[in-house]
Amino acid sequence: MTITDIDWVDAAGDYMCLHVGGRTHIMRSTMKDLLSKLPSKDFVRIHRSTVVNTQRITSVCSLSKGEFRLQLGADVSLKVSRNYRKNIAPLLS
């Protein structure tokens, strides 16, 4: 597995759940440490505990109260919190 294989990441306490091709791999790390290792041009933080590979986003849907929902393929839908909506602004144009 390489970094570009990662679809999205979510935090679970002191662990990161790396979602890759429908499978989940768990690693012990902090979000801050993991973000420092991921290329910022390909990965964007969309929630306090979620990072997504922008290459996997198939659509962006606007929700109420300034939030968005990202679709990754047919099976994964992730909510973008208001605090991180600025991070996906380049994807909206």
Query: Please, what is the Cα angle at 34 between 65 and 30, to 5 degrees?
Result: 80
**pTM summary value:** 0.90
Per-residue pLDDT band for 93 (boundaries 50, 70, 90) equals low
pLDDT digits (tens, 9 = 90+) for 36-67: 999 999 999 999 999 999 999 999 998 887 78
CA distances from residue 51 to 82, 83 in whole angstroms, order as listed: 14, 13
